[in-house]
Structure 1
Amino acid sequence: MRIAILHGSNDAYGASKVLCQEVECLVSLGHEVLVIVPHSGPLASELAPFGAAVSVVVDPSLVVLRRSKLTDLLHPLILRHDVARADVVVLWTLALSAYIPVLRLRRRRFYVSVHELLLGRVGGLLVRTLLAAGSFPVCACSEATAAWLHDHGVGRDRVTVTSPVFSAIDDVPARTVHDPLTVAVVGRVNGHKGHLEVARAFQSPELSGAGWRLLLFGAPYPGQDDALQAVLGLVHRDPRIEYRGEAASVSAIAEEIDAVACFPSTPEPFGLVPIEAWRVGVRSVGFADGGAGEVLPVVGGLGVPRTDFPDRDIASALVGLAAMVHARVALPQPARVNPLFSQDRRRALITGVLARS
């Protein structure tokens, strides 16, 4: 079959990373894949190894529901000819959900892959309005996301939880502890991923000494530069904190760090970073909610409750993490973790979703 995937981003972050995994599974099942994105970015080169089986097309007229760029809603909702001719259309994230009525009206086969956990009123309204009605399949990136969709009217029998895919590893590398202990925050700098929160926690008495170092990785999406400026304000005042810009992966920075800190301002749909960290022998710590709350126990991370005092929560969590790192508490072995994120499992789930679309 020919599968057309509409994706509202073209970057190296969570949803785009998992899209590459989805494409790899689809190609391995014998399908051809067309990916439509609104602007240029790394996906074309990331998907180039699949050759003629995958094509990436940049279409600036793609209608993407994004708070930072509401002008996209002014674009006409028209299905491209190559998308309309596809056997199955995939709407990658809720940002493309404006196309649901068009696809239903034209009786096209499709499914929606949800990588958001929008716990506010607007997110719930979006799900109830566009996803709850109908019988089309919905994929969710975690059990937490699936529960959120169900809470807003999406039948649980319509939802398939498709966790990210990671190739199996034979062992978890052992790492030497740095002095000072070095913690990293990795993710898009948008005011929600925890860069500012962890930097603020570094100002607390528990973390005030010279035994700590914080490296911040990521970059803002256009229109989110204020979030970076807020982070840089603290970076300039604390020599223990450095902003490094984009990181290709956790693996690329693993030699420099002892742990990754995952403290988003709201629960995340899934915890990619803790899994990536575990694979290269780096420990993780974060709030025990959302998708990350599912992942942290699996990879031997430290999960802590979220309260109304995030600076205090983060500081105490990092102190607990330091104790684990210095005690060299063993990370879980691959035999326990690998099967949960295998490509075989994902292929089987996708095959079922395609059959129901």
Structure 2
Amino acid sequence: MTSIDHPLHVLVAHPSADLYGSDRVLLETVQALLERGHRVAVALPRPGPLVDELIRRGALVEFCPTLVLRRSLLSLSGLLRLAGEGVYGFWAGMRVIRRYRPDVLYVNTVAVPLWPLLGRLSRVPTVTHVHEAERHTPRRLQLATALPLLLADRIVANSRFTADTLAHVLPALRGQARVVYNGVPGPAGPRQARTALDGGLRVAYVGRLSHRKGPDLAVEAVARLRERGVAATLAIVGAAVPGYEDYEHALRSRVRELGLGGEVLFHGFQPNPWDILADADAAVVPSRLDESFGNTAVEAVLACRPLVASSVPGLREAAGHYASAQFTAPDDAAALANALERVAVDWEHFRAAAVADADAALERHAPHRYRHSIAEVIAGTAGPRRRR
């Protein structure tokens, strides 16, 4: 039960219309609110595959240009764009709030810093859900994303590492964030991996095609395995961040340079990763930089597939409980290859461990747990204002 007994109007602010990690968590949040009879509208800056999923669940969608913090805005020309986008986004957001008149504003990331300010100016109780924990970014960008949190009525963090990072960036936020782990839906019917690795080890990478996510490390690892005489192939699922397509071009060129055109297949963006994971023997999450949590790591475990991930705090917090998971030093293709070779050599052990881990992950990351917790936070934020 929620902390109030009548429906709320909830306005959700989100920076993209994709279907990656934080986008899928947003769907779980929206589902939680709709199941409790609340009315939900989601403000997005542009169309995308997320829109159909939101409408299918029963949410309204408002297209509202807004300022989205990006590293490219740190240049002189970027600062000019930031000012323009900020002014335009401010008035566009105010129009949406005045039209919808929400009881609660739910901001699903720190990348849209105007929305907590709009909530405060409009006297709408605001919940900000933090999915980012990037201590490697420039200090001024970290502060730019953390300062608007001082305007939020409540803060939710997707991991302890995220909450600790907020306190590290801005000590005033210490102890202010409630940790709610992501709910990660598993496949409808998880299939155990094949009993024998006929034809070699099939490896899957699912995620953005970007330097920080490290799919190039997976390519290099497969090349090293084949040099050692260990047969292996790689399925790459995902697309480049808009504006960073050069990375994907370079990645494809490297595959051709290594002579892996038949062993490394690009599948592009896929809204459903389960078919790819079901066809794989193992999954990799080779992030070079900090991750706040790691939905793709949990998805690999839910799919009954051994996991090799970078040893960064968020990924360890997400998947460090599982015997079928191995962690390697970030930005180390040789270590990634070694871990994958261990999977191939001791396949029977890793296959059995992955089955047991999937059962544990189904309980630990059950979506109903997440939905209950996030709905309570949002309803509890609205309650005091309604009573006043």
| Both proteins in one fold, TM over 0.5 | yes
Find the counterpart in structure 1 of residue 3 from structure 2. none
Alignment pair present for 1:105 and 2:121:
yes
Instruction: Provide Cα deviations, 1:44-83, integer angstroms capped at 9, x if missing partner.
Output: 21123323xx111222x22211235753652222224332
Deviation at 1:18, TM superposition (A): 0.7
Amino acid at match of 1:41: G
Structure 2 counterpart of 1:162, from 144, 160, 180: 180
Instruction: Provide Cα deviations, 1:204-256, integer angstroms capped at 9, x if missing partner.
Output: 36754351111211111220101101211112123222222122332121342
**2:162 & 2:377 partners in 1: Cα distance?**
17
Find the counterpart in structure 1 of residue 369 from structure 2. 345
C-alpha change, 1:316 and 1:11, in structure 2 (3 Å) is same
Conserved 8 A contact 2:211-2:247: yes
**2:94 & 2:235 partners in 1: Cα distance?**
43
Deviation at 1:136, TM superposition (A): 2.0
Instruction: Provide Cα deviations, 1:293-316, integer angstroms capped at 9, x if missing partner.
Output: 122233444232426x61222222
Q: Between 166-175 and 316-325, report the one with greater CA deviation.
A: 166-175
Deviation at 1:109, TM superposition (A): 0.8
Find the counterpart in structure 2 of residue 194 from structure 1. 214
Matches within 5 A, 1:163-312: 163-167=181-185, 173-176=191-194, 177-204=197-224, 208-209=228-229, 211-237=231-257, 238-239=259-260, 240-306=263-329, 310-312=332-334
Find the counterpart in structure 1 of residue 168 from structure 2. 151
Matches within 5 A, 1:4-15: 4-15=11-22
- With structure 1 as the length reference, what TM-score do the two structures score? 0.89
- With structure 2 as the length reference, what TM-score do the two structures score? 0.82
Deviation at 1:113, TM superposition (A): 1.0
**2:325 & 2:293 partners in 1: Cα distance?**
16
Structure 2 counterpart of 1:323, from 345, 353, 356: 345
What is the percent sequence identity of the aligned residues?
25
Conserved 8 A contact 2:302-2:361: no
C-alpha change, 1:155 and 1:339, in structure 2 (3 Å) is farther
**1:127 & 1:108 partners in 2: Cα distance?**
20
Q: Between 197-206 and 26-35, report the one with greater CA deviation.
A: 197-206
Amino acid at match of 1:198: A
Deviation at 1:263, TM superposition (A): 0.7
**1:305 & 1:17 partners in 2: Cα distance?**
27
Find the counterpart in structure 1 of residue 5 from structure 2. none
Deviation at 1:137, TM superposition (A): 1.1
**Structure with greater Cα Rg:** 2
Structure 2 counterpart of 1:74, from 70, 84, 90: 84
Deviation at 1:257, TM superposition (A): 1.0
C-alpha change, 1:346 and 1:65, in structure 2 (3 Å) is same
Conserved 8 A contact 1:270-1:291: yes
User: Any idea what SS the aligned residue of 1:249 has?
Assistant: coil
User: Any idea what SS the aligned residue of 1:330 has?
Assistant: helix
Deviation at 1:167, TM superposition (A): 4.6
**1:154 & 1:206 partners in 2: Cα distance?**
51
Q: Between 211-220 and 80-89, report the one with greater CA deviation.
A: 80-89
C-alpha change, 1:23 and 1:175, in structure 2 (3 Å) is same
Amino acid at match of 1:136: D
* Alignment coverage as a number of residue pairs: 352
**1:73 & 1:339 partners in 2: Cα distance?**
46
Q: Between 234-243 and 18-27, report the one with greater CA deviation.
A: 234-243
Deviation at 1:34, TM superposition (A): 0.6
Find the counterpart in structure 2 of residue 25 from structure 1. 32
Structure 1 counterpart of 2:43, from 25, 28, 36: 36
Which fold has the larger relative contact order, with Cα–Cα distance below 8 Å and residues 6 or more apart in sequence?
A: 2
Alignment pair present for 1:48 and 2:58:
no
For the aligned residue pairs, the C-alpha RMSD in angstroms reads 2.5
Conserved 8 A contact 2:288-2:310: no
**1:4 & 1:80 partners in 2: Cα distance?**
12
C-alpha change, 1:334 and 1:281, in structure 2 (3 Å) is closer
Deviation at 1:264, TM superposition (A): 0.8
Gaps of 5+ in 2: 1-7, 383-388
